[in-house]
A and B are shown apart, each in its own frame.
Chain A
């Protein structure tokens, strides 16, 4: 667009100022209304996880059961294991009776506990850096970095909004998604051995830990 005279330029300036003002209004307004963002809600969960891992009275192999129990108590506040279970089972989930759903959820939670928390078990106080947050409607990605053996390990938390709580439903470690990895594995197991076969395999797998 070419502006032919000064009047037009002045007009555009006016409209531009107005637009900026309106934008400011919306930004301020929405941040005042929102409960709190995904990052703010994730921080306390991870903080308590770290505090427990650093607690000297809970260190070592002999406190493992107690430590894990404490961690899971906090993690379930911010991690939605129901949602994860639902996602990895897929379409069939809705047809399952409540008790089968609950049983599956406890098995899958146990597996994730070993696979995810196991990675942090030898954690020794490195700071978690929050490097970014991407948000769209009721979904969000919170990016973090943590030092691991001298290298920065990116960990992203994929979250969804349940009421006014932001809950983690997938963890992406070094660019590889944990829950989706299980989703792919379970797909072929479900096709071959059906739901009961998958439950049996999960029970066997969990039996190999601790």
Chain B
């Protein structure tokens, strides 16, 4: 059932995507700078990108909804969860969720032509699923020094040159671009959980526990962001867009958990 819905969503989104992509992909690199050294690209760093946000009023509404959900539900749940489950366990659960996600990373590394990244993810998956006891531990990193190479379908589409499209702030899911919402659906297709015959609700539950656990490992991120910004909606939008653009450009910044919540 979940698969059907996702396929429907994917095909719908693919139809709309090129239109948006054409509209909101105005990158204007600084003409004075034309240096290209190693991995980091100077030009792209200084490129001033305007946030395409034609749906701002709707987004702001859902931002407020999410804000309320955060303080009324997510935060109390997280506080209780953090109090009951010790840190070691939460870190293990975090490893577990990451390990199950490994096939998604392998597929996207391959789609982006990063053969070695795909290989590392695959080795990590094999080692951690066995020696790491179902992925609860991370011996691949601790004993073999293999760092995870995350990749997602939204990033893949970006690498392929698809424009990011309109910025969206969706209830429960949070910040996305149109491209990343297609990516979100695409990743569900390569996620093993989709294929173990669970119901739609189970899928939602899995997603929720994953996110609550992630939040418990990085508490206070959202509140810090709110505390130091004058317009949290724009601050979050900017953080998200910059973070995603960096992902497509393959620069550092993969640890920014704010966007994964």
Chain A residues whose C-beta falls within 8 Å of the C-beta of B83 in the assembled complex: none
Known contacts A139-B46, A188-B234; A181 and B229 CB within 8 A of each other:
yes
Residue count of chain A within 8 Å CB distance of chain B: 35
Docked Cα-Cα span, A186 to B149, in Å, equals 35
A interface residues (Cβ-Cβ under 8 A, vs B): 111, 114-115, 118, 132, 134, 136-137, 139, 141, 143, 151-154, 156, 158, 174-177, 180-182, 184-189, 198, 201-202, 205, 208
What would 7 more interface pairs be, CB under 8 Å, given A154-B252, A154-B253?
A: A132-B40, A143-B40, A175-B243, A184-B235, A188-B231, A189-B231, A205-B230
Does B45 touch A at the CB level, under 8 Å? yes
Q: How many whole Å from A100's CB to the nearest CB in chain B?
A: 18
Q: Are A202 and B230 in contact (CB under 8 A)?
A: yes
Known contacts A134-B37, A141-B42, A184-B51; A175 and B253 CB within 8 A of each other:
yes
Docked Cα-Cα span, A131 to B178, in Å, equals 34
Does B255 touch A at the CB level, under 8 Å? yes
Counting residue pairs across A and B whose Cβ atoms lie within 8 Å, the total is 82
Most buried by A among B243, B246, B252: B252
Chain B residues whose C-beta falls within 8 Å of the C-beta of A137 in the assembled complex: 32-33
* The residue from B45, B231, B239 contacting A176, defined by CB atoms under 8 A apart: B239
Does B242 touch A at the CB level, under 8 Å? yes
Q: How many whole Å from A113's CB to the nearest CB in chain B?
A: 11
Known contacts A141-B40, A181-B239; A175 and B246 CB within 8 A of each other:
yes
> Main secondary structure on chain B at its contact with chain A?
loop
Q: Are B45 and A141 in contact (CB under 8 A)?
A: yes
Q: How many whole Å from A83's CB to the nearest CB in chain B?
A: 14
Chain A residues whose C-beta falls within 8 Å of the C-beta of B37 in the assembled complex: 134
* The residue from A111, A139, A141 contacting B228, defined by CB atoms under 8 A apart: A111
Docked Cα-Cα span, A140 to B27, in Å, equals 21
Known contacts A134-B35, A136-B33, A176-B242; A184 and B234 CB within 8 A of each other:
yes
Chain B residues whose C-beta falls within 8 Å of the C-beta of A174 in the assembled complex: 243, 252-253, 255-256
